[in-house]
Structure 1
């Protein structure tokens, strides 16, 4: 049975609307943080991890009731690679933390356009090494599960591709929730999403361009992600998400290359729906399925 959840975490709504297509990035970032910052009453601690001469900020969330497992979650928030933080997505990460009974480390990775790919992947690697390290200051976990939503889903999957043995063997799985993997051409014909939501073709193309600059090929694209691996992936997609074709195409690419994966299509919901898990039955049910998948990855003590 999953651990009991804490009181509902409510994610505020923005007002006035954001101009995702033409707005200045630093202004969007500041307003997004103010509008969506979640106050988590749970057991939390910010950590500053030295990484290549700089400081990488991590948010450690501890569950209401810890299970007896030597594993932890490593989480990457969404926000189109240009906005967001562990605080704006603390509602999703908190629910995963409490439902699985596992410690969770949410990565405050460097944002674009100041820091383009592969900077977020490098930050994820530093955080994963910290999570697995038995040295001074490390968490000393035997294994990890990588998770992320939207842009964070692409970062989590790209990080797994970056790993070498034996560290890859310490990653039990990757949970990728309604990710963005570069299929921009289909967005103009999608019935879901709008410019006001930042999910129109122009806005998503802007995020992609700012996240990469001249970098080619993209580490977040399906061609880079779809390689054979023994690490299972969980692709959670939303039926009313304009980015749905990205998850479907990645699932098909995984099928062709023989990678173990689960494709979970949540009906009646759109992009970012996991933020609504306190008031939406489909979102709560999807979160329960993700947590059950994570539970099945962890070896018995």
Structure 2
């Protein structure tokens, strides 16, 4: 049994308790409508004001609702895909995160409001992300950095696989506690952290099953599970940040190693003592704040044409 009392700091326990106050551990058993209601309420409880100078515009790209963030002229665009298990979340849930990425990097950030399951099962969300990315590049030109957390990290990686060689100039991807495998394992982090706070292995089974059409598996489908791809060549460089106390922890180093084995560039870090969803803890915990610094530093480095090694600032 993993001893989270020793692994997790007091500040992250406070974050966990605040999350659970509006988003209980058994939320996956709620109706879809109630899951979205409590998730939105939970995200709202953590939301902070936009940094000064950041402006937003809501518009569609390829028919997909998006929100654009600007704090000056930008030749680099960060296309951001939110987390939420493919079931919850949207433009509001990660609004302050995207605004802070914009302010810290100076780049345009475009948050993509892809379709959600179960009303729209796979490949709807993937198609929205791929098509919106193409359209965002057509609208703004310049270079593209793909970024996302959890389900959004999966979608960012899948989009990168789908768009390589397409002419869309992908200069990097930043993937935060992502789910990349085509199976939910019973060893490694899936076993060690099967009962982790805020995300369990059983939760992952629920989100996988509700995402996919009835009778269809993620196995062998890189549009649903990027680690299922057989070709990892030609992908943009990647920076991955996983949470230690998360059943998904092993997915990030596994994905990074596949890119490196194919001759690409990938750097993966595991944030000690952090849990799934730690982005919302960035104003509560020094550990989460440091992790967010790493994320924004990596995005900024990619935009400068640099590969974000450990010394990134």
Instruction: Please state which band the TM-score falls in when normalised by the shorter chain.
Output: 0.7 to 0.9
Task: Choose the corresponding residue for 1:91, options 88, 96, 106.
Answer: 96
Q: For the residues of structure 2 that align with 1:205 and 1:105, how far apart are their CA atoms?
A: 30
What displacement does 1:116 show? 1.8
Q: Which runs of 5+ in 1 are unaligned?
A: 1-9
What displacement does 1:32 show? 1.2
Q: For the residues of structure 2 that align with 1:223 and 1:72, how far apart are their CA atoms?
A: 28
Query: For this pair of structures, how many residues does the alignment match?
Result: 277
CA-to-partner distance for each residue in 1:82-141, whole Å, 9 max, x for gaps? 1111211123222211111111100111001111222112211232223212xxxx2x23
Are 2:24 and 1:49 equivalent residues in the alignment?
Answer: no
Do the aligned partners of residues 298 and 45 (structure 1) sit closer, same or farther apart at CA in structure 2, a change above 3 Å counting? closer
Instruction: Provide the alpha-carbon RMSD of the alignment.
Output: 2.6
Q: For the residues of structure 2 that align with 1:101 and 1:94, how far apart are their CA atoms?
A: 10
Q: Which has the higher mean CA deviation after the structures are superposed, 77-86 or 159-168?
A: 159-168
Contact 1:234 1:262 survives alignment (8 Å): yes
CA-to-partner distance for each residue in 1:131-164, whole Å, 9 max, x for gaps? 212xxxx2x2311100000010000000011115
Q: For the residues of structure 2 that align with 1:251 and 1:16, how far apart are their CA atoms?
A: 31
Contact 2:77 2:110 survives alignment (8 Å): yes
Q: For the residues of structure 2 that align with 1:89 and 1:30, how far apart are their CA atoms?
A: 15
Q: Which has the higher mean CA deviation after the structures are superposed, 36-45 or 18-27?
A: 36-45
What displacement does 1:177 show? 0.3
Q: Which residue matches 1:250?
A: 255
Q: For the residues of structure 2 that align with 1:178 and 1:80, how far apart are their CA atoms?
A: 12
Calculate the TM-score normalised by the size of structure 2: 0.79
Q: Which residue matches 1:179?
A: 178
CA-to-partner distance for each residue in 1:176-222, whole Å, 9 max, x for gaps? 0000123422366224644x73x222221110111122255332321
Are 2:67 and 1:59 equivalent residues in the alignment?
Answer: yes
Contact 1:117 1:215 survives alignment (8 Å): no
Q: Which residue matches 1:223?
A: 228
Contact 1:227 1:257 survives alignment (8 Å): yes
CA-to-partner distance for each residue in 1:68-92, whole Å, 9 max, x for gaps? 6411110000011111112111232
- Which structure shows the higher helix fraction? 2
Contact 1:226 1:250 survives alignment (8 Å): no
Q: Which has the higher mean CA deviation after the structures are superposed, 35-44 or 174-183?
A: 35-44
Counterpart of 1:239 in 2: which secondary structure?
A: strand
Counterpart of 1:238 in 2: which secondary structure?
A: strand
Q: For the residues of structure 2 that align with 1:143 and 1:243, how far apart are their CA atoms?
A: 29
Q: Which residue matches 2:309?
A: none
What displacement does 1:16 show? 6.2
Contact 1:192 1:240 survives alignment (8 Å): no
What displacement does 1:228 show? 1.1
Q: Which residue matches 2:160?
A: 160
